[in-house]
Homo-oligomer: A and B are copies of this chain.
Amino acid sequence: MSTERERTPSPTISEVAEAAGVGRATVARTLGGYGSVSPKTRDRILAAAKELGYRPNSIARSMTTGETRTLGVVLADVGNPFFAGVLRGISDAAREAGYDVIVLSTDESVEQEAAAIEVLVDKQVDGIALAPAAGRRETLPHLDVVAKRGIPLVLLDRLVDTVAADAVVINNREASREAVEALIAQGHRRIGFVWGPVTNEPAADADDLRRILDHALWSDGERLLGYLDALERAGIPFDTSLVTHVLKNEQQATRAVLGMLALSDAPTAIFATETDALTGALRAMRQRGLLCPEDISLIGFDDSSWASVMTPPMSVVAQPMHRLGVLTAECLLARVAGSDAPVATHVLEASFIARDSVAPAAR
């Protein structure tokens, strides 16, 4: 490798045009393979291009075709195992179709999402996959430019009512209900839920909670609604002190779970709806010297390789991350190719995997 900073790029269309003694546009038409050029001129241009070692580049092609063969992907955090798995799926399907992927993280900030969308529109990506940072009922004015330019958009992992685009999500509500019902079936009636919505004060009751969820992320809200569904079906009263109302990070989960465990009527089981929620719950239990499942039964979300080799192996709701990514890219590429099929929401099934982290309720 040379560390020489001077670039020696492929000759430009202008240089080919000068060598062939024709205009730039004629060269572009000839090398781009569109429009009409006389055979004689065409031969002269191809000879000049060959002589100069011209190699068409993607930027020149983009100028003529309007395509960049690049997809933009906007996620919460590319370092998060769930989104890393999804990105791998998107990436695999995009490569397969000859597309590349520009990826941007929002850290769940709508402002960062707006900035990311602006970047992708400016880069003229052919399509955008977005895991929105906004709540399910919010409006997203930063997507107006995407619609106006006719750039295909697919929502990923989360729905937003005001955005009529294709979407690929999982059945969070049903999968969560099933997980909580597995706890109830073992006699648990005091079941902690990590993560609840971030609020200044806890929800007063289940109806208040449902109202709050209108402003929460769709996926978070659905998981909590699944929890409420399971409680209601079993006739178990909702207790707001068993639902965390903190920012979504492991430290906050640990603190919130420590708070639950200090209640006089502490939970006997916890449903943790993200990896960080589960590790936070485990950390809190460790600090209090509580064992799983003897003292507290646990069910997590996402089946990482760790979950099944822990002591005890963790029962989890497993999301098809790679498939979610592949299907998102496929939907997006179909739109890029001009599909005018009706807008559709694709719902993939998560599966509940029962292992050894749930025991019958002792109390």
A-side interface residues toward B, CB under 8 Å?
1-9, 14, 24-25, 57-60, 62-63, 66, 68, 70, 77-81, 83-85, 87-88, 91-92, 95, 100-105, 119, 122-124, 143, 146-153, 163-165, 250, 275-276, 279, 282-283, 286, 304-306, 308-311, 313, 321-322, 335, 338-340, 342-343
For A311, give its contact among B119, B311, B322 (CB under 8 Å): B311
Scoring A2, A304, A305, A340 by chain B CB atoms within 10 A of each residue's CB, the highest score goes to: A305
Contact B1–A279 (Cβ < 8 Å):
no
Contact B119–A149 (Cβ < 8 Å):
no
For A63, give its contact among B63, B164, B275, B339 (CB under 8 Å): B63
Distance of A109 from chain B, by nearest CB (Å): 12
Beyond the given pairs A57-B122, A279-B309, 15 more chain A to chain B contacts, judged by CB atoms under 8 angstroms and listed by A's residue number, are: A3-B343, A5-B150, A7-B149, A9-B66, A14-B25, A77-B88, A78-B88, A79-B84, A84-B84, A275-B305, A279-B305, A282-B309, A310-B310, A310-B311, A311-B311
For A165, give its contact among B1, B7, B66, B338 (CB under 8 Å): B1
Contacts of A275 in B (CB 8 A): 305
| Given contact pairs A78-B88, A103-B103, A149-B7, A122 touches B306 in the complex (Cβ within 8 A) | no
For A122, give its contact among B7, B8, B58, B309 (CB under 8 Å): B58
Contacts of A143 in B (CB 8 A): 1
Distance of A355 from chain B, by nearest CB (Å): 11
| Given contact pairs A123-B100, A149-B9, A309-B279, A88 touches B95 in the complex (Cβ within 8 A) | no
Contact B279–A306 (Cβ < 8 Å):
yes
Contacts of A286 in B (CB 8 A): 309, 313
Contacts of A148 in B (CB 8 A): 8
How far is B66's CA from A163's CA once the two chains are assembled, in angstroms? 36
Contacts of A62 in B (CB 8 A): 59
How far is B96's CA from A105's CA once the two chains are assembled, in angstroms? 12
Contacts of A104 in B (CB 8 A): 91, 95, 100
Distance of A286 from chain B, by nearest CB (Å): 6
How far is B7's CA from A3's CA once the two chains are assembled, in angstroms? 42
5 closest residue pairs by CB, A with B: A79-B88, A84-B84, A282-B309, A7-B150, A306-B306
Of all chain B residues, the one with the shortest Cβ separation from A95 is B104
For A283, give its contact among B14, B24, B152, B309 (CB under 8 Å): B309
Distance of A3 from chain B, by nearest CB (Å): 6
How far is B283's CA from A102's CA once the two chains are assembled, in angstroms? 36
Contacts of A250 in B (CB 8 A): 305
How far is B2's CA from A150's CA once the two chains are assembled, in angstroms? 7
Of all chain B residues, the one with the shortest Cβ separation from A304 is B306
Contact B91–A84 (Cβ < 8 Å):
no
Contacts of A24 in B (CB 8 A): 24-25
Of all chain B residues, the one with the shortest Cβ separation from A279 is B305
Distance of A167 from chain B, by nearest CB (Å): 11
Contacts of A79 in B (CB 8 A): 84-85, 87-88, 321-322
Of all chain B residues, the one with the shortest Cβ separation from A340 is B5
Interchain Cβ contacts under 8 Å between A and B, 6 examples:
A1-B143, A3-B340, A91-B103, A100-B102, A276-B305, A286-B309
How far is B68's CA from A119's CA once the two chains are assembled, in angstroms? 12
Contact A164–B1 (Cβ < 8 Å):
yes
How far is B116's CA from A10's CA once the two chains are assembled, in angstroms? 19
Of all chain B residues, the one with the shortest Cβ separation from A98 is B119
